[in-house]
Structure 1
Amino acid sequence: MIQLPKEKEITIISKPSFDSKEVSLKVVDSQFAQKFVDQFEFGKKQLFVDCDEDALLEIDPSLNSSNKLLLWESGSLKITEEEWISFQKTIPPLSPFLAQDISGKDLMLAWGKKESLLSAVESGLGTYYSRSRNGKWVKGEESGHLQNLSAIYVHSNPFFIQYITNQIGAACHTGYYSCFFRELGLNDSISFVYPNKVGV
């Protein structure tokens, strides 16, 4: 069975189908996440792991739709200026940012700050916070694999941002279209979701 990183927070993303835009998530410690994987009901649900093994994607058909707020779409805010100013005061110092493509496939889970979201609203590009670089990170600014956003949703309890994007090339640094390119299965099996890489 896959061994998740120890002493690291793991994000578990849950949704009713592979292409659903109805999604929820929780951030747990590595011990909880490892137990979650070890006890997973593979006959009833699907489980994918991301490239860094610090995010899991659970497909559970029994899940209900999530509550989310449409913040931004096609270049314009969908809330009033007053609501936007007020909302900015509620953004946590650091929170999960989930990118999905237009069809609902999950591309990557990264982290972002208030400045990341403000930049995304301004530019229309998938923007995050890089903890390794300690600064703003526009996905694809070096590789050309940009995320042209079509919508931004906000979830609460817990707070996280959901980008809906037209992904150019690979979302994953490994060259795969999505960071969730491995599916876990029974008897510790691992299968690859995408047969080919689309860029490096």
Structure 2
Amino acid sequence: MIQLPADKVITIISKPTLNSKDVSLKVMSSPLAQEFVSRFDFGKKQLFVDCDEDALLEINPKLEISDKLLLWELGSLKITEGEWISFQKTIPPLSPFLAQDISGKDLMLAWGKKESLLSAVESGLGTYFSRSRNGKWVKGEESGHLQNLSAIYVHSNPFFIQYITDQIGAACHTGYYSCFFRELGLNDSISFVYPNKVGE
């Protein structure tokens, strides 16, 4: 069985189908997430792991998803100025940011701050907080693999941001289109989702 990093919190993303934009999210300790994997029903559901092994993607056809708020679309806020100012006071110090492409395919899970979201709303580019660099991180700023956003959704309970993006090139630093390029299976099997890295 895959061993999740013991020193990190693990994010579990759940959705009813692989290309669904309806999604929920849970953040848990590594031991709890390891137990989740060990009890996973691979006969009825699918499970993918990201490049850093600190995010799992569960495809569960029986899943029911709670509502999300459309915050921003195609360059403009979809809430009033007063609602936007009030909303900014509710943003946690650090929260999950999930990027999906236009088709609903999950690309990556990173973390962001209030400043990350404000920058994304202003620039239209997928923006996060880099904990290793301790600062703002615009995805693709150095590689050219930018995320041109078409929509931003907000979820509550727990709070997380959902980017819908037109991904240029690879979302993953490994060169794969998505960070979720490995599917876990029965008998500890691991299969690769993409035959090639972007550009190969």
Structure-1-length-normalised TM-score: 0.99
Cα RMSD after superposing both structures:
0.9
Aligned length: 200
Q: Counterpart of 1:88 in structure 2: which amino acid?
A: Q
Q: 1:199: how far off?
A: 4.9
Cα distance in 1 for residues equivalent to 2:8 and 2:103:
30
1:4-53 CA distance string (max 9 Å, x none): 00021000000000000000001000000000001100000000000000
Matches within 5 A, 1:120-159: 120-159=120-159
Structure 2 match to 1:74: 74
1:111-158 CA distance string (max 9 Å, x none): 000000000000000000000000000000000000000000000000
Percent of matched pairs sharing the same residue = 88
Matches within 5 A, 1:14-163: 14-163=14-163
Q: 8 Å contact 1:48–1:184 — kept in the other structure?
A: yes
Cα distance in 2 for residues equivalent to 1:66 and 1:16:
12
1:58-92 CA distance string (max 9 Å, x none): 00000013310000000000000000000000000
1:149-169 CA distance string (max 9 Å, x none): 000000000000000000000
Cα distance in 1 for residues equivalent to 2:74 and 2:7:
39
| Runs of 4+ in structure 1 over 2 Å off | none
Helix, strand or coil for the counterpart of 2:173? coil
Cα distance in 2 for residues equivalent to 1:35 and 1:93:
28
Helix, strand or coil for the counterpart of 1:34? helix
171-180 vs 60-69, greater mean Cα deviation: 60-69
Q: 8 Å contact 1:175–1:197 — kept in the other structure?
A: yes
Structure-2-length-normalised TM-score: 0.99
Q: 8 Å contact 1:111–1:130 — kept in the other structure?
A: yes
Query: 5+ residue gaps in structure 1?
Result: none
Cα distance in 1 for residues equivalent to 2:66 and 2:144:
32
